Amino acid sequence: TSNVPVLGITGTGGAGKSSLVDELVRRFLKDFPKKTIGIVSVDPSKRKTGGALLGDRIRMNAINHPRVYMRSLATRQSNLALSKYVKEAVEILKAAEYDLIILETSGIGQSDTEILEHSDVSLYVMTPEFGAATQLEKIDMLDFADLVAVNKFDKRGAQDALRDVKKQYQRNHQLWDKDVDTLPVFGTIASQFNDPGMNTLYKAIMDTLVEKTRADLDSSFEISKEMSEKIYIIPPSRTRYLSEIAENNRNYDKQAMSQVEITQNLYGIFKTIQAVTSSAVEKPLLTEYGLNDDKILGQAQGENRPLVELLIAEFNKIKKTLDPLNWEVILGWDEKVNRY
Protein backbone atom coordinates (compact mmCIF):
# COMPACT_ATOMS: atom_id res chain seq x y z
CA THR A 1 0.00 0.00 0.00
CA SER A 2 2.92 2.38 0.54
CA ASN A 3 3.50 2.44 -3.22
CA VAL A 4 0.17 4.20 -3.86
CA PRO A 5 1.13 7.72 -4.99
CA VAL A 6 -0.38 10.72 -3.23
CA LEU A 7 -0.78 14.03 -5.04
CA GLY A 8 -1.08 16.95 -2.65
CA ILE A 9 -2.82 20.07 -3.94
CA THR A 10 -2.81 23.31 -2.02
CA GLY A 11 -3.27 27.02 -2.65
CA THR A 12 -5.15 30.06 -1.47
CA GLY A 13 -8.93 30.10 -1.28
CA GLY A 14 -10.61 30.99 -4.55
CA ALA A 15 -7.69 29.83 -6.70
CA GLY A 16 -9.90 27.20 -8.34
CA LYS A 17 -8.41 24.10 -6.70
CA SER A 18 -11.65 22.11 -6.75
CA SER A 19 -12.33 22.90 -10.41
CA LEU A 20 -8.74 21.98 -11.21
CA VAL A 21 -9.04 18.67 -9.32
CA ASP A 22 -12.24 17.95 -11.24
CA GLU A 23 -10.41 18.44 -14.55
CA LEU A 24 -7.50 16.24 -13.40
CA VAL A 25 -9.92 13.47 -12.39
CA ARG A 26 -11.71 13.66 -15.75
CA ARG A 27 -8.42 13.26 -17.61
CA PHE A 28 -7.27 10.45 -15.31
CA LEU A 29 -10.45 8.42 -15.91
CA LYS A 30 -10.05 8.85 -19.65
CA ASP A 31 -6.31 8.09 -19.56
CA PHE A 32 -6.63 4.95 -17.39
CA PRO A 33 -9.91 3.10 -18.14
CA LYS A 34 -9.39 0.53 -15.36
CA LYS A 35 -7.67 2.46 -12.57
CA THR A 36 -9.30 4.01 -9.51
CA ILE A 37 -8.77 7.32 -7.75
CA GLY A 38 -9.51 8.49 -4.21
CA ILE A 39 -9.91 12.14 -3.23
CA VAL A 40 -9.71 13.70 0.23
CA SER A 41 -10.75 17.37 0.29
CA VAL A 42 -10.18 19.37 3.45
CA ASP A 43 -12.32 22.45 4.14
CA PRO A 44 -11.56 25.05 6.83
CA SER A 45 -13.68 25.21 9.96
CA LYS A 46 -14.88 28.64 11.05
CA ARG A 47 -13.47 29.83 14.34
CA LYS A 48 -16.73 31.52 15.35
CA THR A 49 -19.22 28.73 14.59
CA GLY A 50 -16.92 25.72 14.33
CA GLY A 51 -18.70 24.64 11.15
CA ALA A 52 -17.27 23.85 7.71
CA LEU A 53 -18.98 24.17 4.33
CA LEU A 54 -17.49 20.99 2.80
CA GLY A 55 -18.41 22.51 -0.56
CA ASP A 56 -15.55 21.23 -2.72
CA ARG A 57 -17.78 18.53 -4.23
CA ILE A 58 -20.05 21.26 -5.67
CA ARG A 59 -17.32 22.12 -8.19
CA MET A 60 -16.56 18.52 -9.08
CA ASN A 61 -18.62 16.93 -11.85
CA ALA A 62 -16.31 14.03 -12.78
CA ILE A 63 -16.42 12.42 -9.30
CA ASN A 64 -19.82 10.83 -9.93
CA HIS A 65 -18.15 7.71 -11.26
CA PRO A 66 -17.80 4.14 -9.93
CA ARG A 67 -13.98 4.38 -10.08
CA VAL A 68 -13.87 7.58 -8.00
CA TYR A 69 -14.18 7.94 -4.22
CA MET A 70 -14.40 11.40 -2.70
CA ARG A 71 -14.45 12.37 0.96
CA SER A 72 -14.67 15.85 2.52
CA LEU A 73 -13.10 16.57 5.90
CA ALA A 74 -13.23 19.64 8.12
CA THR A 75 -10.01 20.96 9.65
CA ARG A 76 -11.77 21.25 13.06
CA GLN A 77 -9.41 24.17 13.74
CA SER A 78 -9.49 27.58 12.04
CA ASN A 79 -5.73 28.07 11.76
CA LEU A 80 -4.89 24.80 9.99
CA ALA A 81 -5.02 23.81 6.34
CA LEU A 82 -5.25 20.07 7.11
CA SER A 83 -7.32 17.98 9.47
CA LYS A 84 -5.47 15.88 12.06
CA TYR A 85 -7.34 12.88 10.62
CA VAL A 86 -5.85 13.29 7.14
CA LYS A 87 -3.10 10.74 7.76
CA GLU A 88 -5.64 8.07 8.75
CA ALA A 89 -7.88 8.94 5.78
CA VAL A 90 -4.98 8.57 3.35
CA GLU A 91 -3.92 5.27 4.96
CA ILE A 92 -7.45 3.90 4.56
CA LEU A 93 -7.48 4.82 0.86
CA LYS A 94 -4.08 3.15 0.44
CA ALA A 95 -5.37 0.04 2.17
CA ALA A 96 -8.35 0.06 -0.21
CA GLU A 97 -5.78 -0.13 -3.01
CA TYR A 98 -6.74 2.97 -4.92
CA ASP A 99 -4.32 3.60 -7.78
CA LEU A 100 -3.98 7.33 -7.09
CA ILE A 101 -4.87 9.50 -4.11
CA ILE A 102 -5.45 13.24 -4.35
CA LEU A 103 -5.25 15.26 -1.15
CA GLU A 104 -6.66 18.79 -1.46
CA THR A 105 -6.15 21.25 1.38
CA SER A 106 -8.40 24.07 2.48
CA GLY A 107 -5.93 26.73 1.38
CA ILE A 108 -5.88 29.18 4.28
CA GLY A 109 -3.07 31.42 3.08
CA GLN A 110 0.51 31.66 1.91
CA SER A 111 1.93 28.90 4.12
CA ASP A 112 0.40 25.49 3.37
CA THR A 113 3.61 23.44 3.55
CA GLU A 114 2.17 20.84 5.97
CA ILE A 115 0.71 19.03 2.96
CA LEU A 116 4.27 17.99 2.03
CA GLU A 117 4.29 15.54 4.95
CA HIS A 118 1.38 13.59 3.44
CA SER A 119 2.09 13.70 -0.30
CA ASP A 120 4.62 12.31 -2.75
CA VAL A 121 4.14 15.08 -5.30
CA SER A 122 2.86 18.54 -4.44
CA LEU A 123 1.01 21.02 -6.65
CA TYR A 124 0.53 24.64 -5.66
CA VAL A 125 -2.45 26.40 -7.28
CA MET A 126 -2.54 30.19 -7.45
CA THR A 127 -4.02 32.95 -9.61
CA PRO A 128 -2.33 35.74 -11.59
CA GLU A 129 -3.69 38.27 -9.09
CA PHE A 130 -1.01 37.96 -6.42
CA GLY A 131 -0.06 41.65 -6.51
CA ALA A 132 3.52 42.82 -6.88
CA ALA A 133 6.21 40.30 -7.83
CA THR A 134 7.76 40.75 -4.37
CA GLN A 135 4.68 39.03 -2.88
CA LEU A 136 5.95 35.77 -4.37
CA GLU A 137 8.82 35.80 -1.86
CA LYS A 138 6.26 35.23 0.91
CA ILE A 139 4.76 32.07 -0.59
CA ASP A 140 6.49 29.13 1.13
CA MET A 141 5.03 26.57 -1.26
CA LEU A 142 7.01 28.04 -4.16
CA ASP A 143 10.09 26.77 -2.28
CA PHE A 144 8.75 23.23 -1.98
CA ALA A 145 6.09 22.55 -4.63
CA ASP A 146 7.00 20.12 -7.39
CA LEU A 147 4.60 21.84 -9.76
CA VAL A 148 2.81 25.19 -9.84
CA ALA A 149 -0.43 26.02 -11.64
CA VAL A 150 -1.29 29.66 -12.34
CA ASN A 151 -5.02 29.08 -12.69
CA LYS A 152 -7.63 31.51 -14.08
CA PHE A 153 -5.10 32.24 -16.81
CA ASP A 154 -7.69 34.22 -18.76
CA LYS A 155 -7.27 37.12 -16.34
CA ARG A 156 -5.59 40.28 -17.57
CA GLY A 157 -1.83 40.25 -17.01
CA ALA A 158 -1.70 36.44 -16.73
CA GLN A 159 1.27 36.09 -19.11
CA ASP A 160 3.35 38.52 -17.03
CA ALA A 161 2.29 36.75 -13.83
CA LEU A 162 3.37 33.38 -15.26
CA ARG A 163 6.78 34.78 -16.16
CA ASP A 164 7.21 36.23 -12.64
CA VAL A 165 6.24 32.93 -10.99
CA LYS A 166 8.64 30.98 -13.22
CA LYS A 167 11.51 33.32 -12.32
CA GLN A 168 10.65 33.05 -8.61
CA TYR A 169 10.52 29.24 -8.89
CA GLN A 170 13.90 29.27 -10.61
CA ARG A 171 15.41 31.39 -7.80
CA ASN A 172 13.83 29.35 -5.00
CA HIS A 173 14.99 26.02 -6.43
CA GLN A 174 18.38 27.32 -7.62
CA LEU A 175 17.71 26.10 -11.17
CA TRP A 176 19.96 28.63 -12.88
CA ASP A 177 21.09 26.18 -15.55
CA LYS A 178 17.53 25.47 -16.72
CA ASP A 179 15.55 27.39 -19.30
CA VAL A 180 12.71 29.28 -17.60
CA ASP A 181 10.22 27.96 -20.16
CA THR A 182 10.93 24.34 -19.18
CA LEU A 183 10.14 24.84 -15.47
CA PRO A 184 7.06 23.05 -14.07
CA VAL A 185 4.92 26.17 -13.87
CA PHE A 186 1.78 26.10 -15.99
CA GLY A 187 -0.91 28.57 -16.98
CA THR A 188 -4.32 26.89 -16.73
CA ILE A 189 -8.00 27.70 -17.17
CA ALA A 190 -9.68 24.88 -15.24
CA SER A 191 -13.15 26.24 -16.02
CA GLN A 192 -12.61 25.78 -19.77
CA PHE A 193 -13.23 22.47 -21.54
CA ASN A 194 -10.12 20.70 -22.89
CA ASP A 195 -7.85 23.56 -21.87
CA PRO A 196 -4.34 23.08 -23.37
CA GLY A 197 -2.70 24.26 -20.13
CA MET A 198 -4.68 21.72 -18.09
CA ASN A 199 -3.66 18.97 -20.53
CA THR A 200 0.00 19.92 -20.16
CA LEU A 201 -0.30 20.12 -16.36
CA TYR A 202 -1.98 16.70 -16.15
CA LYS A 203 0.76 15.05 -18.23
CA ALA A 204 3.47 16.73 -16.13
CA ILE A 205 1.79 15.54 -12.90
CA MET A 206 1.56 11.94 -14.09
CA ASP A 207 5.18 11.94 -15.31
CA THR A 208 6.37 13.38 -11.98
CA LEU A 209 4.37 10.80 -10.00
CA VAL A 210 5.91 7.94 -12.01
CA GLU A 211 9.40 9.43 -11.67
CA LYS A 212 9.12 9.88 -7.89
CA THR A 213 7.12 6.81 -6.84
CA ARG A 214 7.67 4.28 -9.68
CA ALA A 215 3.89 3.81 -9.70
CA ASP A 216 2.21 2.00 -12.57
CA LEU A 217 0.76 5.20 -14.02
CA ASP A 218 2.52 5.64 -17.36
CA SER A 219 0.29 8.13 -19.12
CA SER A 220 -0.53 7.95 -22.81
CA PHE A 221 -2.34 11.27 -22.70
CA GLU A 222 -1.65 13.38 -25.78
CA ILE A 223 -0.94 17.07 -25.34
CA SER A 224 -0.42 20.00 -27.67
CA LYS A 225 2.11 22.80 -27.44
CA GLU A 226 -0.57 25.48 -27.19
CA MET A 227 -0.77 27.92 -24.32
CA SER A 228 -4.01 28.35 -22.42
CA GLU A 229 -6.10 30.98 -24.06
CA LYS A 230 -9.65 31.86 -23.15
CA ILE A 231 -12.18 31.06 -25.86
CA TYR A 232 -14.47 34.06 -25.94
CA ILE A 233 -17.97 34.20 -27.38
CA ILE A 234 -17.41 37.94 -27.66
CA PRO A 235 -13.74 39.09 -27.64
CA PRO A 236 -12.63 41.47 -24.86
CA SER A 237 -12.16 44.24 -27.42
CA ARG A 238 -15.86 43.90 -28.23
CA THR A 239 -17.25 43.55 -24.72
CA ARG A 240 -19.56 46.52 -25.39
CA TYR A 241 -20.63 45.04 -28.73
CA LEU A 242 -24.29 44.57 -27.75
CA SER A 243 -24.34 47.95 -25.98
CA GLU A 244 -23.08 49.61 -29.14
CA ILE A 245 -25.82 47.94 -31.17
CA ALA A 246 -28.44 49.08 -28.64
CA GLU A 247 -27.03 52.63 -28.63
CA ASN A 248 -27.03 52.76 -32.43
CA ASN A 249 -30.64 51.58 -32.48
CA ARG A 250 -31.64 54.17 -29.89
CA ASN A 251 -29.84 56.93 -31.83
CA TYR A 252 -31.53 55.83 -35.05
CA ASP A 253 -34.96 55.83 -33.38
CA LYS A 254 -34.25 59.26 -31.90
CA GLN A 255 -33.17 60.65 -35.27
CA ALA A 256 -36.18 59.06 -37.01
CA MET A 257 -38.60 60.59 -34.50
CA SER A 258 -36.91 63.99 -34.97
CA GLN A 259 -37.38 63.72 -38.76
CA VAL A 260 -41.01 62.66 -38.26
CA GLU A 261 -41.64 65.77 -36.15
CA ILE A 262 -40.01 68.02 -38.78
CA THR A 263 -42.07 66.40 -41.55
CA GLN A 264 -45.29 66.84 -39.56
CA ASN A 265 -44.52 70.56 -39.11
CA LEU A 266 -43.82 70.94 -42.84
CA TYR A 267 -47.03 69.11 -43.67
CA GLY A 268 -49.04 71.38 -41.35
CA ILE A 269 -47.60 74.52 -42.96
CA PHE A 270 -48.13 73.11 -46.44
CA LYS A 271 -51.81 72.29 -45.73
CA THR A 272 -52.26 75.83 -44.38
CA ILE A 273 -50.77 77.25 -47.61
CA GLN A 274 -53.14 75.04 -49.59
CA ALA A 275 -56.12 76.32 -47.61
CA VAL A 276 -55.11 79.97 -47.95
CA THR A 277 -54.42 79.71 -51.70
CA SER A 278 -57.44 77.46 -52.35
CA SER A 279 -55.18 74.93 -54.11
CA ALA A 280 -56.35 71.31 -53.98
CA VAL A 281 -53.54 69.83 -56.09
CA GLU A 282 -50.32 69.11 -54.14
CA LYS A 283 -47.96 68.01 -56.90
CA PRO A 284 -47.46 71.35 -58.75
CA LEU A 285 -46.75 73.10 -55.43
CA LEU A 286 -43.74 70.89 -54.59
CA THR A 287 -40.38 70.64 -56.40
CA GLU A 288 -37.18 68.70 -55.78
CA TYR A 289 -35.84 71.79 -53.97
CA GLY A 290 -38.91 72.55 -51.84
CA LEU A 291 -41.99 74.68 -52.47
CA ASN A 292 -42.85 76.07 -55.89
CA ASP A 293 -42.85 79.66 -54.59
CA ASP A 294 -43.88 81.31 -57.87
CA LYS A 295 -46.81 78.95 -58.37
CA ILE A 296 -48.04 79.42 -54.80
CA LEU A 297 -47.67 83.22 -54.79
CA GLY A 298 -49.41 83.34 -58.17
CA GLN A 299 -52.47 81.67 -56.61
CA ALA A 300 -52.44 83.83 -53.48
CA GLN A 301 -55.07 86.59 -53.35
CA GLY A 302 -54.00 90.12 -52.50
CA GLU A 303 -54.97 90.22 -48.82
CA ASN A 304 -53.51 86.72 -48.19
CA ARG A 305 -50.18 87.31 -49.93
CA PRO A 306 -48.25 88.56 -46.81
CA LEU A 307 -49.45 85.51 -44.85
CA VAL A 308 -48.46 83.14 -47.66
CA GLU A 309 -45.00 84.73 -47.83
CA LEU A 310 -44.56 84.19 -44.07
CA LEU A 311 -45.68 80.57 -44.39
CA ILE A 312 -43.28 79.96 -47.29
CA ALA A 313 -40.39 81.49 -45.29
CA GLU A 314 -41.20 79.31 -42.25
CA PHE A 315 -41.51 76.23 -44.48
CA ASN A 316 -38.09 76.84 -46.06
CA LYS A 317 -36.53 77.48 -42.64
CA ILE A 318 -37.83 74.18 -41.22
CA LYS A 319 -37.01 72.24 -44.40
CA LYS A 320 -33.29 72.98 -43.90
CA THR A 321 -33.37 70.59 -40.90
CA LEU A 322 -34.93 67.78 -42.96
CA ASP A 323 -32.67 65.07 -44.40
CA PRO A 324 -32.60 65.50 -48.24
CA LEU A 325 -33.20 61.76 -48.64
CA ASN A 326 -36.43 62.08 -46.67
CA TRP A 327 -37.58 64.91 -48.98
CA GLU A 328 -37.02 62.58 -51.94
CA VAL A 329 -39.11 59.93 -50.17
CA ILE A 330 -41.93 62.46 -49.67
CA LEU A 331 -41.89 63.48 -53.35
CA GLY A 332 -41.99 59.88 -54.56
CA TRP A 333 -44.47 58.61 -51.97
CA ASP A 334 -47.61 58.76 -54.17
CA GLU A 335 -45.80 56.90 -56.94
CA LYS A 336 -44.63 54.25 -54.48
CA VAL A 337 -48.16 53.78 -53.11
CA ASN A 338 -49.54 53.37 -56.64
CA ARG A 339 -46.93 50.66 -57.39
CA TYR A 340 -48.23 48.52 -54.55
| Residue 55 or residue 16, greater confidence | 16
- Domain 6-231 falls in which CATH fold? Rossmann fold (3.40.50)
Gap between the Cα atoms of 35 and 27, Å rounded? 12
Q: Say if residue 113's pLDDT is above 70.
A: no
Mean pLDDT for 196-200 is 90
- 340 to 282, 283, 335, 337: CA distances (angstroms): 21, 20, 9, 5
Confidence of residue 26 (pLDDT cuts 50, 70, 90): very high
pLDDT at position 149: 92
| DSSP-derived 3-state class of residue 244 | helix
Q: What is the pTM of this model?
A: 0.66
| Residue 181 or residue 256, greater confidence | 256
Q: Say if residue 13's pLDDT is above 70.
A: yes
Confidence of residue 111 (pLDDT cuts 50, 70, 90): very low
Q: Say if residue 109's pLDDT is above 90.
A: no
Mean pLDDT for 24-49 is 84
Most confident of 155-159, 242-246, 259-263: 259-263
Q: Say if residue 39's pLDDT is above 70.
A: yes
Gap between the Cα atoms of 333 and 336, Å rounded? 5
pLDDT at position 116: 80
Mean pLDDT for 116-128 is 88
Q: Say if residue 322's pLDDT is above 70.
A: yes
Confidence of residue 314 (pLDDT cuts 50, 70, 90): very high
pLDDT at position 229: 64
Q: Are 92 and 60 in contact (CB under 8 A)?
A: no
327: closest CA among 294, 288, 298? 288
Q: b/e for 232-242, b at 16 or more Cβ within 10 A? A: eeeeeeeeeee
pLDDT at position 207: 92
Percentage of the chain modeled with pLDDT above 70? 84
Q: Say if residue 59's pLDDT is above 80.
A: no
Q: Say if residue 77's pLDDT is above 70.
A: no
